[in-house]
Amino acid sequence: DFMVFAYLAPVLAPLFFPTHDKLASLLATYGLFWLGFAIRPLGGACIGCLGDLFGRRWTLLGSVVLMSLPMLATGFLPTYAQIGFWAPALLAVTRLAMGFSVGGEFSGTVVALFETAAKGKSALAVNLANVSSCLGALLAAAAVTGLSALLGAEKMSAGGWRIPYFLGAVLALGAIFLRFFLHETPQYEETRKKGEVAKTPLRDVWRVDKVAMTACAIGCGFYGHTYYLLGTYLPNRMETDLHLPGSIIFLAAVVANTCLALLPQLFAPLVDRVKWRPYLWVTGVLTMLAVWPALEMVEKGGAGWVVAGLLLFAIPQTAFTSAVLPAASALFPTPRRFTG
């Protein structure tokens, strides 16, 4: 849903924020994208608290149900031309609801993978969350690009933009069905048997794990921003600012999200063998240093330059990604891990 919204931003902007200033309209739409992203920590804390109290299995089932509702609702939203101010207001509500639920869903998936991983394989297991997330992003890119090519700009604005949301709601039904067969993680089961389940996990995290929370917020915040810079901002910039052909934009989306999905898995065996703190410092600095030259290469416009720029940024970014999620999971003990 997040990636569908990002790829549809140029279509949604004039429908929900009509103005003569196209840039202002697009920025307002991206503002809603940021709004959903900003509330994710709150969703992670609230849903995570339930996960630590009642277990991973049923909490993860509830989070995917919660995700499906704003996705379906977005597909039915009227536009500004139909109900005026209430259209962007309702869109903001759906973005907040989606961001809240994704905050718990993604962190819960990471926790479940970490707690079921074989010894010495935590990075390899946890990075499967990236694989599933990026495969969804690839599907979003394919759906939006395919529909845009099939329907054209006029029909996409007339209602074609709703189709990816309806498709996403259908896929969510499949995810809900699969979650019914999910087992509780071994680490949480052991915690429950020992009677060590936290009664007030949210309060305990604030009191005991402040340093861990700060480190987690910095690392995961950096990961999230660079993830969307690579997978969303750059492909959209090629369309709105650089006016590159649709074929190059789709190529960029495919290359970016393929790198985001696969490269962390290639780095994971290394991550499982090294100390995470120096590894994260080195790869984080390399990621920051790669931003400017990568942007310069992308702005040259040719397919070769675009791919080269994306790879220049993707390699250090995914190297950082491969360690940040397992490292964040390891910062917290099992009774408070989902909340943290």
pLDDT tens per residue across span 127-177: 888 888 878 877 887 888 889 888 988 899 999 999 999 998 888 888 888
Report the distance separating Cα 15 and Cα 82, nearest Å: 10
Report the distance separating Cα 44 and Cα 206, nearest Å: 14
Indicate the fold that domain 2-336 takes in CATH: Growth Hormone; Chain: A; (1.20.1250)
Query: Which of 48-57, 63-72, 207-216, 223-232 shows the lowest mean pLDDT across its residues?
Result: 223-232
Q: 175-181: long-range contacts (C-beta < 8 A, 24 or more apart)?
A: 175/64, 175/68, 176/61, 176/64, 176/65, 176/68, 179/57, 179/60, 179/61, 179/64, 180/61
CB of 55 closer than 8 Å to CB of 188 = yes
Q: Which two tokens stand for residue 202?
A: 């949210």
CB of 285 closer than 8 Å to CB of 268 = no
100 exposed, middle or buried (CB, 10 Å; 0-12, 13-18, 19+)? buried
Q: 194: helix, coil or strand?
A: coil
Query: Which of 25-29, 85-89, 235-239, 253-257 shows the lowest mean pLDDT across its residues?
Result: 235-239
Can you give the pLDDT at residue 267?
Answer: 93
Single-letter amino acid code for the residue at 269: P
Can you give the pLDDT at residue 289?
Answer: 95
Which residue has better confidence, 94 or 149?
A: 94
| Total-model pTM | 0.82
CB of 70 closer than 8 Å to CB of 100 = no
pLDDT digits (tens, 9 = 90+) for 268-291: 999 999 998 999 999 999 999 998
Candidates 265, 271, 232, 224; CA nearest to 249 is 232
Can you give the pLDDT at residue 310?
Answer: 86
Confidence of residue 334 (pLDDT cuts 50, 70, 90): very high
For the chain, the domains span 2-336
pLDDT digits (tens, 9 = 90+) for 23-64: 788 888 888 888 888 898 899 889 999 999 999 999 999 999
Q: Say which DSSP state 7 is in.
A: H
Q: Say which DSSP state 159 is in.
A: T
* Averaged pLDDT of the chain: 88
Report the distance separating Cα 153 and Cα 170, nearest Å: 25
